Amino acid sequence: MSKFLTASIGRKFVMSLSGLFLVVFIAVHLGLNLLLIFDNSGDLFNQGAHFMATNPLIKIMEPILGLGFIIHIVWSFFLEYQNWKARPVKYAKKNMSGASSWASRNMLVLGGLVLVFLIIHIINFFVKMKFTGDPLLAEVTINGEHMHNAYALVSSAFINSAALGVFYILGGALLGFHLSHGFWSAFQTLGLNNKHWLKRWKVIGTIYAILIAVGYAVIPLYFMLGLYK
Amino acid sequence: MSILDSKIPEGPLAEKWSKHKAAIKVVSPANKRKLEIIVVGTGLGGASAAASLAELGYKVKAFCYQDSPRRAHSIAAQGGINAAKNYQNDNDSVYRLFYDTIKGGDYRAREANVYRLAEVSPNIIDQCVAQGVPFGREYGGLLDNRSFGGVLVSRTFYARGQTGQQLLIGAYQALNRQISKGAVEMYNRHEMLDLVKIDGKARGIIARDLVSGEIKRFGAHAVVVATGGYGNVFFLSTNAMGSNGSAAWQCYKRGALMSNPCFVQIHPTCIPVHGDQQSKLTLMSESLRNDGRVWVPKKKEDAVKLQKGELHPNDIADEDRDFYLERRYPSYGNLVPRDVASRAAKERCDAGFGVNSEGKAVFLDFKYAIDRLGKGVIEARYGNLFQMYEKITDVDPYKAPMMIYPAIHYSMGGTWVDYNLMTTVPGLYSIGEANFSDHGANRLGASALMQGLADGYFVLPYTIGDYLADEIMTPMADTNAPEFAEVEKDVKDRIEKLYNIKGSKPVDYFHKKLGQVMWDYVGMARNAEGLQKAIDMIKEIREEFWKDVRIPGELDNLNPELEKAGRVADFFDIGELMARDALDRNESCGGHFREESATEEGEAKRNDEKFTYVSCWEYKGEGVEPDMHKEDLVFENVKLTQRSYK
Amino acid sequence: MADKILKKLKIKVWRQKNAKSKGKFETYTIENISTGSSFLEMMDILNFQLIEEGIDPIAFDHDCREGICGTCSLYINGRPHGPDTEVTTCQLHMRKFKDGETIVIEPWRARAFPVIKDLVVDRTAFEKILQAGGFVSVNTGGVPDANTIPIPKDDAEESMDAAACIGCGACVAACKNSSAMLFVSAKVSHLAKLPQGKVEAASRAKNMVSKMDELGFGGCTNTQACEAECPKSISITNIARLNREYLRARISE
């Protein structure tokens, strides 16, 4: 196995598997957050958030998820460095646009920007909910259960700052671009591809990327446009 | 005894090879390890020989001027490889392949060699399949065959339009396997510049490392030359830019005889020469003639308009088109053999009916086939070729006829070898296109690949043992021996001489001039006066070359101009010998057409009474006329008849 | 259809005396080139001109000039084999360029392909990869009849698709990571699709990939640039097959 992980193909497997793991997380995360726009009392979202914060299985998954992110990110820098070294003298004139997509050539840039977004996102919500707390998170009681008012924190953030909303829409778009290449690429790396599936994976990947980008844009837009009223 | 002992075994034709194999000596495995063999060239012949000899246990050193053995020009062969497998149940047999080859070669090849070639041909296909060559197959999973020009059975195996490439990759894989085992030492980007003999035997070569410019010595117990043909003497040919006759020519200068040098094949379907900037001609597969119709305009005024670009070929009505092959050869039509088709095209163009701006092209029209079969069928058959044609000429052959013209393609002549493929220098072997042995005066389509692999896989590995068995006590060649030093000095002197001319004109200037003379006088139609003129003109150009060539760059660095200069210097000599040989052979046979020896209708006329021999030229020194020896060809199994395609 | 004359072109080309020296770009002017000439014929004319001017001609690799030997390289205007698809540099024609244009010519750039001189690079790395396992271990002779093992036509065709690789290195040159995965996967696929090659499929994949990594090629990030620039349109699905073969080989260790 050590041989496998030091080989170029093995290393790519790590990127691919961690990436697919994050793909699943992103979908779950979006599903949960969409609860924000289906119940403007906030109860539904608060219940969802409470479930995620208390369920033992999710608790186990949380550090694994963190690890997934770290592996995917750290590994990408390492691999990119390896790849960068493979061409010590660069070309003076490049014209790669016809041969490959911009996203595929700039996964590190896209991933890096998503990472910046992620850090701000975590500081904005996750850290407050989990560690520091916030006045807006004052406890509410739904169906006799006490929980944080996560809805208040999120909704007021978007209602009060259009800039934050735009920032989130951009973040979603970046993620979408990242996935437009990352999704099918993961299957290619795992060897789960052939001449038929190449097209299929790409279609599925594109649809997924658009759903994620649109899905994550809908939430801030919902609050920015005042649809919650 | 003459210096020519062909060593053809006694006995019935079909038993000669097996009897010979049983009679020749074999080297024990323990002794093979002590014997070194140099193989120069890594095309089908060289790569297959180097791999097979290494598998047997010999220590092999292999050389190629390219950056990889895989790039040898065998790779460019398109159509296929013949083998007498009779998989199609169409009554093919070893004898039939033998007969077709002898007849196709216009009765100027050795019966025994050709029969052996046909005999081992089935083994080649087995070998290639085992190596993983992806031959074309039927839906049932068995191998498919194609038909090819000049024969009545379907015996050509193919891998799309890239058969040469796939066979070479097969041989290259086998070679790589031996390189990885350390059994073959591979020298890429090395060019053989001379042969070293010790006590009259071939014991090594001098080669130039093309990257560092270093002149190196390599010793061995035997040297195998598999360096292909000399078609580039014409400057424009379908050969690769680097293909050259120099290694074989150095062997000639060191005592190996050169046979039938005037036999070169001119392929009828090449993309015509374009302007004066052209560097190389591209072949369009012979298979196109299966569905394309060859024509020129009937009216000269139409031809003139076409030449000026004032008329589109599609605007010429059918009744104003001269389908001259169908007119002259009603029974074979567009499928006459290569030499006949080439000469007919030249005849029309010389008469002023050529259709491109230079007046040196004829049409190959698929309109009729598309009307008959539909575009889809034609696309499935020739899609790749049509695409290639369009990329080069910017003309869409689905909409307008292709333009084609004959071009130099293959050299049937080459180093003289005996039945063991050994030259007149003991220990020096010549295989594949480099030797003269199997194709007579004209080679059939899909037979070059067959010969290269037959020699390399199945003939040389046996026959070389007969010589090496007596060499087991000979120590490794000492490259410090005075013989090596002497030849190395010759090589260095020659390179320095060339380099120090510091004239005013690049090598290509002279090469183009030589090529023009060769094409005009030693090309498709030859006559005594023209050949004599060619000899004189070549001498003049050579003299000018040695006075005025400019070689830039350094001696101790990669220097393509220096490489070219050395090759072109030899081309002058090869060209002259070709003209001399053509002058001697006052008959028309195969690719060699002497205007003095033609029927009333202008068809080729052989003269069996006087010319049923192989001409074998012996080098007599710089500026001295070579001697000619004759190996009489004896036909015990076939009856000589005049070829007719009417 | 009719050929035109490009009156004037500027050729900006990488000049480097040898492997050790530092190179730089030089710009030359060339006049009256027919659009019907091939790119390498243009280079010949330029070299002819340089020799007459007493300048060392530009070294570049080329041989068959019909797109099959894989010798020619050249990174032209930012693309391997220049601005056309499914062609090698020797098949590229001048009609793809405009009068007055500056054409930038660079060698293949990769750590594993060091420059030898000017535009000539050393592709020995490809040789070493193939020597590591790109073959079927059979000796000459003693093999079964060619029709002993039927091979489904589709498998043979797929094998042939991969075997069409000419080993030119455009995939490496095109890849932003200088990865050789398309080259390696083409050879692995060519043999893996045939029963004769299956026997050694596992060790072949392992040995060739190890050698590839050792020689300093980058990793594959599936940008597909290799496929787009491959003169023989070798598909990246071969890379998926290599990934699969490799995984299988390592798992069964």
3-state DSSP of B231-252:
HHHHCCCCCCCCCCCHHHHHHH
Q: B488 to chain C nearest CA, in Å?
A: 25
Position B628 pLDDT exceeds 80: yes
One domain for residues C210 and C237: yes
Which of C1, C38, C44, C69 best probes binding to B when mutated, by most B CB atoms within 10 angstroms? C69
Mean pLDDT score of chain B: 95
Residues 115-174 of A with CB under 8 A from C: none
Separation in Å, CA of B507 to nearest CA in chain C: 9
- Of B353, B377, B408, the last residue of a domain is B408
Q: What is the mean pLDDT of residues B251-279?
A: 93
Question: Cβ-count burial of C2 within 10 angstroms (0-12 exposed, 13-18 middle, 19+ buried)?
Answer: exposed
CA atoms within 13 A on the CB side of B624: 10
Q: Which residues of A touch C79 (CB under 8 A)?
A: 95-96, 98-99
Q: How many CB atoms neighbour CB A167 within 10 A?
A: 16
Q: How far apart are the first and last CA of chain A?
A: 57
Does C2 score more than 80 pLDDT? no
8 Å CB contact of A95 and C79: yes
pLDDT digits (tens, 9 = 90+) for B566-587: 999 999 999 999 999 999 999 9
Are B247 and B343 found together in one domain? no
Domain count along chain C:
2
Of A12, B322, B329, A217, give the one whose Cα is nearest residue C222.
A12
The gap from C-alpha B362 to its chain's centroid, in whole angstroms, comes to 25
User: Does C200 contact chain B (CB < 8 Å)?
Assistant: no
Question: Is there a single domain that holds both residue C140 and residue C244?
Answer: yes
For A1-14, what is each residue's pLDDT tens digit?
678 888 999 999 99
Q: Mind listing the pLDDT tens digit for each residue in B359-390?
A: 999 999 999 999 999 999 888 778 888 988 99
- Range B9-16 contact pairs with CB under 8 angstroms and sequence separation of 24 or more: B9/B112, B9/B419, B13/B98, B13/B111, B13/B112, B13/B115, B13/B636, B13/B637, B14/B94, B14/B95, B14/B115, B14/B119, B16/B112, B16/B115, B16/B116
Q: What is the pLDDT of residues B424-470, one digit of tens each?
A: 999 999 999 999 999 999 998 899 999 999 999 999 999 999 999 99
**Is B221 contained in some domain?**
yes
Give the per-residue pLDDT at B601: 85
Query: How many angstroms away from the CA of A189 is the closest CA of chain C?
Result: 6
pLDDT at C70 over 60: yes
Residue B382: the pLDDT is 86
CB B416 within 8 A of CB B5: no
From the list C2, C18, C69, which residue is nearest B75 (CB)? Answer: C69
Identify whether A95 is part of a domain: no
* Residues of B known to be catalytic: 338
Note whether C136 and C247 are same-domain residues: yes
Asked if A3 has any chain C CB less than 8 Å from its own CB, the reply is yes
How near does any CA of chain B get to the CA of C112, in Å? 15
Q: In this structure, are C153 and C98 located in the same domain?
A: no
For residue B335, pLDDT beyond 90? no
Q: Are residues C164 and C73 in the same domain?
A: no
Average pLDDT of the residues of chain A: 94
Least confident of A176-190, B173-187, B594-608, C11-25: B594-608
Residue C113 resides in a domain: no
A86 has a chain C CB within 8 A of its CB: yes
**How distant is the Cα of A212 from the closest Cα of chain C, in angstroms?**
22
User: In terms of domains, do C224 and C176 share one?
Assistant: yes
* Cβ neighbours for B529, distance < 8 A, ≥ 6 positions apart: none
pLDDT 10s digits, C219-234: 999 999 999 999 999 9
**What is the percentage of chain A residues whose pLDDT exceeds 70?**
100
Domain count within chain A: 1
pLDDT confidence of residue B1:
42
Q: What pLDDT does B2 receive?
A: 63
Instruction: Quote the percentage of chain B above a pLDDT of 90.
Output: 88
Q: Are B584 and B571 contained in the same domain?
A: yes
Cα distance between residue C74 and residue C11, in whole Å:
13
Between β-strands B293-297 and B362-365, what pairing exists: parallel, antiparallel or unpaired? antiparallel
Whether the predicted pLDDT of C1 surpasses 70: no
Which chain B residues touch C51 with a CB distance below 8 Å? 506, 550, 552, 561
Strands B613-618 and B258-259: antiparallel
Whether B53 and B194 share a structural domain: yes
Note whether B295 and B229 are same-domain residues.
no
- Subunits with 3+ C-beta pairs closer than 8 A to A: C
Q: Is C31 on the interface with B (CB under 8 A)?
A: no
Instruction: Choose the closest CB to C116 out of B135, B211, B552.
Output: B211
Which residues in C lie closer than 8 A to residue B278 (C-beta atoms)? Answer: 37, 41
Q: What is the DSSP letter of B349?
A: I
In-domain check, residue A143: yes
Report, in angstroms and rounded to the nearest whole number, the Rg of chain A calculated over CA atoms: 20
CA–CA separation, B222 vs B429, rounded Å?
8
Helices A195-224 and A8-33 sit at what angle, rounded to 10 degrees? Answer: 40
What dihedral angle (degrees, nearest 10) is formed by the CA atoms of B206, B211, B212, B213? 50
Do B277 and C37 make contact, defined as CB atoms within 8 angstroms?
yes
Whether residue C116 lies inside any domain: the answer is: no
Instruction: Name the nearest CA neighbour of B431 among B275, B248, B564.
Output: B248
- At residue B612's C-alpha, the angle toward residues B82 and B331, to 5°, is 50
C100 and C31, same domain (yes or no): yes
Q: What is the ipTM of this complex?
A: 0.97
Looking up tokens 């292709």 gives B402
Closest CA of chain C from A25, distance in Å? 22
Whether C192 is covered by a domain: the verdict is yes
**Are B488 and B527 in the same domain?**
yes
Q: What is the domain extent for residue C65? A: 5-106
3-state secondary structure of B344: helix
Contact (CB<8Å) A191/C240: yes
How much is the pLDDT for B209? 98
Chain B contact probe: residue of C35, C51, C210 with most B CBs at under 10 A? C51
Residues B567 and B533 in one domain: yes
> Is there a domain that residue B199 lies in?
yes
Is A182 a domain residue?
Answer: yes
> Could C84 and B176 be called an inter-chain contact, meaning their C-beta atoms sit closer than 8 Å?
no
Helix axes C124-131, B163-181, angle to 10 degrees: 80
Residue at which a domain ends, from C40, C75, C106: C106
B32: CB partners within 8 A, 6+ apart: B56, B57, B58
Same-domain pairing of C132 and C166: yes
* Exposed / middle / buried, residue C198 (Cβ in 10 Å: 0-12, 13-18, 19+): middle
Looking at beta carbons, which residues of chain B come within 8 Å of C63?
A: 66, 71, 73, 240-242
- Band (pLDDT 50/70/90 cuts) for residue B208 is very high
Interface test with C, best of B184, B191, B391 (most C CBs within 10 A): B391
Q: What is the mean pLDDT of chain C?
A: 96
Burial class (CB in 10 A: 0-12, 13-18, 19+), A141: exposed
CATH of the domain at C96: 3.10.20.30
Considering the domain architecture, whether residues B57 and B194 belong to the same structural domain is answered as: yes
Average pLDDT over residues A33-52: 92
Rounded average pLDDT over B606-613: 96
User: Would you say residue A192 has pLDDT above 80?
Assistant: yes
Residue type, B642: Q
Task: Judge: B126–C143 Cβ closer than 8 Å, yes or no.
Answer: yes
Please identify which residue in the block is written with the tokens 């049932």.
B140
Chain-chain contact of A9 with C244 (C-beta, under 8 angstroms)? no
Q: Which two tokens stand for residue A84?
A: 């960068």
What is the pLDDT at residue A1?
61
- The whole-number average pLDDT for the span A133-152 is 89
Q: Is the pTM of this model over 0.90?
A: yes
Exposed/middle/buried for residue C218 (C-beta within 10 Å: 0-12, 13-18, 19+): buried
Is C224 in Cβ contact with A8 (below 8 Å)?
no
Domain membership of residue B445 (yes or no) is yes
Helix runs in B146-244, H state only: 163-181
Residue A66 β-bridge partners: none
**Could you give the number of structural domains in chain B?**
3
Chain C CB contacts of A181 under 8 Å are 222-223
Buried b or exposed e, range B351-373, using 16+ CB within 10 angstroms: eebbbbbebbbbbbbbbebbeee
How far does CA B48 lie from the centroid of its chain?
17
Residue that finishes a domain, picked among C73, C106, C139: C106
CATH number, domain of B572, equals: 1.20.58.100
Is A5 part of the contact surface with chain C (CB cutoff 8 Å)? no
Q: At what angle do helices A43-54 and A150-160 cross, to 10 degrees?
A: 120
Whether B630 and B614 have beta carbons less than 8 Å apart is answered as yes
- Nearest Cβ partner for B55 among C40, C51, C139: C139
Which of B451, B471, B491 delimits the end of a domain?
Answer: B471
Q: Nearest 5°: CA angle at C163, between B292 and C62?
A: 75
Residues 6+ apart with CB under 8 A from C253: none
Q: Which two tokens stand for residue A26?
A: 């992103």
Q: Do C177 and A12 touch (CB under 8 A)?
A: no
**Structural domain boundaries, residue B310:** 268-408
Q: Give the residue-averaged pLDDT of B142-164.
A: 88
With an 8 Å Cβ cutoff, are A86 and C236 in contact? no
pLDDT score at B270? 94
Residue B241 falls within a domain, yes or no?
yes
* Cα gap C27→B580, rounded to integer Å: 47
Residues of A in contact with C110 (CB under 8 A): 86-87
- Final residue belonging to a domain, choices B392, B408, B424: B408
Instruction: Check CB contact of C34 with chain B, cutoff 8 Å.
Output: yes
Cβ burial, residue B644 (10 Å; 0-12/13-18/19+):
exposed
Q: Is residue A93 part of a domain?
A: no
The last residue of one of the domains, among C64, C80, C106, is C106
What DSSP element (H or E) covers C174?
A: helix C170-174
- C246 and C148 together in one domain: yes
Residue A185: domain span = 2-82+106-224
**CB distance A151 to A46 below 8 Å:** yes
DSSP conformational letter for B295: E
Give the C-alpha separation, B342 to B524, whole Å.
8
Measuring CA to CA, which residue among C221, C211, C210 is closest to residue C179? C221
- Same domain, yes or no: C72 and C174: no
In a domain, B248, yes or no: yes
pLDDT of C90 strictly over 70 = yes
Q: Is residue B33 part of a domain?
A: no
